[in-house]
Amino acid sequence: MRAGWSYVGRRALFALITIFIAISLNFVLFRLAPGDRTSALRCQGCTQEFKQQLRADFGLDKSVPEQYVIYLNQTVRGDFGRSFVTEQPVISELWQPIKNTLPMILLGTIISIMLGITTGVIAAWRRNTLADKGTVWGGLLFYSLPTQWLALMLILYLAGPLNLPTSDIADPYLAYSNAGAWAEFVDRLKHMILPAATIGLVLFGEYTLIVRSSMLEALGEDYILTARAKGLSNWEIITQHALRNSMLPIVTLVFLSLGFIFGGTILIETVFNYPGIGLQIYESVGNRDYPVLQGAFLLLTVVIILMNFLADLLYFKLDPRVTE
C-alpha cells in the first residue's frame, strides 16, 4: 500500500510541475505574437500618450518579468484577471463557453465510442476479411483527415439535406414563436449535431484499433472457447464475454482523449461558429486578450493533466503492478 501512495504522490508532483511549466509557457507564448491589446484596438486616431495610458491600464507598460511575477501571483490566488476586451473577470468570460462546449464534446465522444466499438468488434470478429480491413482503414482515414476540412464536408453534404444549423448554439428566433422547453432542447441538440459528428468521425478510429486489439486478445481466451462449447450465440459471446473483458483499455483511452478533445475544439467551433471555449480562444488571439488566453489555456492544461492523472490512478486501481 505504501508503494501505492508513493506512486500517487509521484504522479501528483509530476502533474503540479507540468501545470507550472504550462502556466509559464502560457504567459510567454502569447506575448511573442506581434502587437498587443492597444494595437488590436486599432485606435489609429489615438495619440501616443493615450495608447501609453491604455498600456498602463492593461499593465503592459511594466517589464515582462514584472508582468510575469504579477501574473504568477494572481494565478496562485485564483485571480485570472479581467478580459482586456470586455473588462469582465476571466472566469465569467470562460464559464459560458465551457458550458456550451461540454455537452457538445460529450455527444461527440459518445458518437466516437459507439462507432469505435462497433467497428472494432466487427474488425475483430471478421478478422482478416474485407470487413476488418474496411473498418480499420476507414477509421484511420477519418483520423487522418484535417478536422476543419471534414467539418466543411459535413456542412456541404449533410447540413442542407438534413436541414441542420451550421452556426451558433441555438435558434435566436425561437423566442418569437413561444417555443416550449422541449423545442428549445431539440434545437440545441440540432445545433450540436454537426460539430459533435465531426469529433465523432475524427476520433472513432483510435477506438476501433483499441477495441479490435483487445477483442482479438479476448477472443483467444479459454473462456470464449468454453462459451462456444456451451452453445452460446455469437451475439452473447461478444456482448457478455469478449467485449466486456475488452473494455478496460477503452475506459483509459476515454479519459486520455477527453482532455485533448477539449483543446481540439478550436478548429471545429471556428468552422461551425459554435460559441464554446475553442471559438473564445480563437477570438481572443485576434484581440490579443492575454488574460482570457492565459485563463483558457491554463484551463485546458489542467484538464489534460487532470485526465492523465486520473488515467494513471485508474491504471493503479486496475493493475497494481504499475507501481513496480
Partner 1 sequence: MRKRLLGIILFGAVALLAACGGGESTTPGGGGDNAATGGAETAAIKEGGIFRLGTTSNPDSINPFVGFSALSYILWTETYPTLVQYDTDYKIVGDWADSWTTSSDGKVWTFKVKANGKWSDGKPITAADAAFTGNLVLKYGEGPAAMMAPFIAHSTKFEAPDATTLVITYDEPVANVLPQLQQFFILPQHVVEPIIGDKGKGLKQWDPMSGGAQVGGGAFYVKTFEKKGTTIIEKNPGYYTTPPHVDAIGLTVYQNADAMLAALKGGQLDSVDTMPPTLAKQWSTDPNFTLQVGSSSFIYDIPINSNQKKTDHRELLDLKVRNALDLAVDRNQIIETVLNGYGTPVATMFTDLSSPYNNTDIPIPPYDIAAANKILDDAGYARGADGIRVGPDGSKFDWEVIVPENVEGIDRLFEILKTSWAELGINITAKKLDSTAAFEAIGAPDWKYLDFDLAIWDWVGYIDPDFMLSVLLCNQLGGWSDTGYCNPEYDKLYDEQGITLDAEKRKAIVWEMQDIQSRDLPYLWVAQKQSISAYSKNWGGLTEPFLLGMSKIPWDTIHQTG
Cβ distance to partner 1 smaller for residue 86 or 129: 86
Residue 296 interacts with partner 1 (CB under 8 A): yes or no:
no
Residues 241-260 that bind partner 1 (CB under 8 A): none
Count of positions on this chain that bind partner 1 (CB under 8 A): 46
> Using CB under 8 A, which of 6, 21, 56, 57 touches partner 1?
57
Residue 192: count other Cβ atoms within 10 Å of its Cβ. Answer: 25
Residue 61 interacts with partner 1 (CB under 8 A): yes or no:
no
> Using CB under 8 A, which of 1, 2, 44, 78 touches partner 1?
44
Contact 151, 273 (CB under 8 A): no
**Binding segment (CB under 8 A) for partner 1, from list 46-54, 212-220, 245-253, 300-308:** 46-54
Contact 259, 303 (CB under 8 A): yes
> Using CB under 8 A, which of 65, 78, 231, 286 touches partner 1?
286
> Using CB under 8 A, which of 125, 272, 297, 315 touches partner 1?
272
Residue 46 interacts with partner 1 (CB under 8 A): yes or no:
yes
Cα(91)–Cα(296) distance, integer angstroms? 9
Residue 56 interacts with partner 1 (CB under 8 A): yes or no:
no
Q: How far apart are the first and last CA of the chain?
A: 12
**Binding segment (CB under 8 A) for partner 1, from list 36-44, 245-253, 292-300, 303-311:** 36-44
Q: Print the SS3 string covering 99-122.
A: HHHHHHHHHHHHHHHHHHHHHHHH
Binding-site string for partner 1 from residue 150 to residue 179, where x marks contact by CB under 8 A and - marks none: --x--xx--xx--xxxxxxx-xxx--x---
Q: Print the SS3 string covering 230-299.
A: CCCCHHHHHHHHHHHHHHHHHHHHHHHHHHHHHHHHHHHHHHCCCCCHHHHHHHHHHHCCHHHHHHHHHH
To partner 1, the closest distance from the beta carbon of 183 in angstroms equals: 15
Cα(33)–Cα(152) distance, integer angstroms? 28
Give the burial class of 224: count Cβ atoms within 10 A of its Cβ; 0-12 exposed, 13-18 middle, 19 or more buried.
middle
Which parts of this chain interact with partner 1 (CB under 8 A)? 33-35, 39-50, 53-54, 57, 86-87, 152, 155-156, 159-160, 163-169, 171-173, 176, 270-273, 275, 279, 283, 285-286, 288
